Amino acid sequence: MEHRRLRFGRGFRVLFGHRRVQAAQMVLPPGGSEGGPGNRHRGADQWLYVVSGSGLAVVDGRRQRLGPGSLLLIERGEEHEIRNTGTTPLRTVNFYSPPAYTAGGDERPAGRPS
């Protein structure tokens, strides 16, 4: 068993994971964004859960509004961007299957387990 208390500081931070799944948290300031053209996880599906704030997801050209309680699946290979459209930080918890990042936050090559 592993346990972490989410503190939601700033930016993107990998929390922990194992061979099949990984958890991370992300905080975007008002007006901030992550991703954009060319941003895609070639080797992992991403589940994004909005804890607080409001935003917009653009996934392969399709737009989806985000708010507290939103759960979004971004399938491997889909180009995506997450934008904070609100006046408070956008806080999300993200799960990647299989893991998409190293412990330091660098993206893994497609198909490379931990």
Query: What is the block-wise mean pLDDT of the chain (114 residues), using blocks of 10 residues?
Result: 90 91 96 93 95 98 98 97 98 96 81 51
Closest CA to 55 of 79, 76, 26, 75: 26
pLDDT attached to residue 73: 98
Locus of tokens 């989410």: 6
The Cα 92–Cα 45 span in angstroms is 16
Question: Domains of the chain: which residue ranges?
Answer: 11-97
The pLDDT value recorded for residue 85 is: 98
CA 110 to chain centre: 17
Q: 11-97: which CATH number, 2.102.10.10, 3.30.1490.20, 3.30.210.10, 2.60.120.10? A: 2.60.120.10
